[in-house]
Structure 1
């Protein structure tokens, strides 16, 4: 296989294996380098589109025979399942760390603890409620484009939040290989692919979604730097979840007022 194509396939597969539960060939992910970890960021929007397609197909299948509220609960649960709850875990850990610690070292220690606290439980509850409420509106208004684009731009947020961020944990962690070798090529490639996807699906949403994504990325870069001394995988996961919630909420408010 032509080497650039082989690298692209390996990095897309790596991104898919990290962000979803979809099975991928182990032979591809067993021989990856630090450059491959960083390069996989370029394919985060593509993986988001894959998740969006699953969400849209499920929505089209169930919305006709299931009440909108129940359907929105089912779709929210499906997305959690397809991503192994990875980003929800990051949101809960970040909420517990910020809410329970007074120094960056203490916050990082709390975030590393596998148990969930009050702040994490509240963050997850609010996140699920916001998603269910927003998806219910989108189903009623048949706003199908949002089901495809929201996962794309929420994954793009992780790319921009990670770019040139310092990893917070000196002893390393899940996100460290992704951050250390990242260059400008990854956010550029991810932004171009996200823009192309949006142009093909709903060009009228591009500006709003891009601006929201950039604001969320900037917010979580600041949160990581201000309260943790850098970026972690949990912060990136939380950025994804919050961006999804904001984009779903904005989309729901927009279509409900038309």
Structure 2
């Protein structure tokens, strides 16, 4: 192959690498070096966010499956599975959920609500929301592992992917940043709306394919789980846009946890 032909392919590989480094470097604690911090890298990184969900979900599902295979109860397997995303993200998305809850529940004007979200402490709204969401995730995954480790593993992956698909959608054009700095401003509006929705639809389709290996209408339940997750995140996104004027890094985290929880709740009703 001559250099002229190899050049575009090499450039494409670099762009893919930059996108993946951006995605894993900003959404996880995986020690990758983010070589580009610009809108192009952010665009690729947010489009690749569901791939981060696959890795995190697989880790969570594997821990839960390992505990289940070792004789642990479904509840303990679920606790282990829920702990993995918190560790792999250093609690970033959970912190964003708590901060967003405090901002929404404060009743303050947008600027003051955003200041509340920037504080390092967690208020009562954040504590209650965080507690209920974690309890819901553990309870839902416990029900999933109650149907066997394979279904539990699949559910953990589906929930993690759905959460990151919600982040991809929140990075579409037309969704502004609430303030000029931070991760929210870096990724707000980087994706064409058509691309963002195509990624979300692809995640739902792949979830249905994963569910086709089970009996009955499990494929449909997995498809609905992603659809419900995205819908729940969109409701929260609409509320945050009306309340704060746009998105922040905390809002992205809240959307991820909301979507993941909604997906797990649907999957637990098998």
Q: Deviating runs (4+, > 3 A) in structure 1?
A: none
Matches for 1:106-125 after TM superposition, within 5 Å: 106-125=112-131
Give 3-state SS (helix, strand or coil) of 1:175's partner. Answer: helix
Matches for 1:108-147 after TM superposition, within 5 Å: 108-142=114-148, 143-144=151-152, 145-147=154-156
Aligned 8 A contact 1:224 1:232 in 2? no
**How far 1:115 sits from its partner (Å)?**
0.9
Q: What is the TM-score normalised by the length of structure 2?
A: 0.86
**How far 1:32 sits from its partner (Å)?**
3.4
Give 3-state SS (helix, strand or coil) of 2:188's partner. Answer: helix
Aligned 8 A contact 2:28 2:88 in 1? yes
Q: How many residues align?
A: 250
**How far 1:94 sits from its partner (Å)?**
0.7
* Whole-angstrom CA distance in 2 between matches of 1:199 and 1:251: 12
5+ residue gaps, structure 1, are none
Per-residue Cα deviation, 1:211-249 (whole angstroms, up to 9, x for no partner):
213312321221122111111111111111111111111
Aligned 8 A contact 1:44 1:190 in 2? no
**Which position in structure 2 is the counterpart of 1:251?**
267
Pick aligned residue for 2:95 from 89, 109, 127: 89
Aligned 8 A contact 1:154 1:241 in 2? yes
Matches for 1:167-178 after TM superposition, within 5 Å: 167-169=177-179, 171-178=180-187
* Whole-angstrom CA distance in 2 between matches of 1:212 and 1:199: 13
**Which position in structure 2 is the counterpart of 1:56?**
61
Pick aligned residue for 2:167 from 147, 158, 162: 158
Residue range with higher mean Cα deviation, 201-210 or 122-131: 201-210
Matches for 1:10-29 after TM superposition, within 5 Å: 10-24=18-32, 26=33, 29=34
* Whole-angstrom CA distance in 2 between matches of 1:195 and 1:246: 14
5+ residue gaps, structure 2, are 1-8, 213-218
When residues 56 and 245 of structure 1 are mapped into structure 2, their CA distance, relative to the original with a 3 A threshold, is same
* Whole-angstrom CA distance in 2 between matches of 1:217 and 1:101: 21
**Which position in structure 2 is the counterpart of 1:179?**
188
RMSD between superposed Cα atoms in Å: 1.9
Matches for 1:1-16 after TM superposition, within 5 Å: 2-16=10-24
Whether 2:39 is the aligned partner of 1:34: answer yes
**How far 1:112 sits from its partner (Å)?**
0.8
Whether 2:253 is the aligned partner of 1:233: answer no
User: Greater relative contact order: 1 or 2 (C-alpha under 8 angstroms, separation 6 or more)?
Assistant: 1
